Amino acid sequence: MMIAISSQKQSLADEKLLFSVREVARVLGVCERTVWTMIKENGLPIVRLRGSVRIPKERLLQWIDQHTSALKP
């Protein structure tokens, strides 16, 4: 029964479109202050909803891709 709950939670996470600053920090392995810096200085896209800040999943993935530097051989 526990496996069904875990897979159900995973399914919901896959469907989630907006993430909080705390969630993004956890996913990226950085502190929340770093995420705020990424928003203010590096253009991490946000959506404001009734006073809260959310980061769109697809825009986060695009931002990561754009800010990933390739290693030169």
pLDDT in tens, the chain (73 residues): 444 445 555 555 568 899 999 999 999 999 999 999 999 998 899 999 999 999 999 999 999 888 887 666 6
Q: What was the pLDDT predicted at 24?
A: 95
Q: What was the pLDDT predicted at 2?
A: 42
Chain centroid offset of residue 11 CA? 16
Topology of domain 16-66 in CATH is Arc Repressor Mutant, subunit A (1.10.10)
Asked whether 28 and 21 are in contact (CB, 8 A), the reply is: no
SS3 state of residue 60: helix
Token pair listed for 2? 């526990």
pTM confidence score = 0.72
Residue 39's CB is within 10 A of a number of other CB atoms, namely 16
Strand partners, 48: 53
For the chain, domain boundaries: 16-66
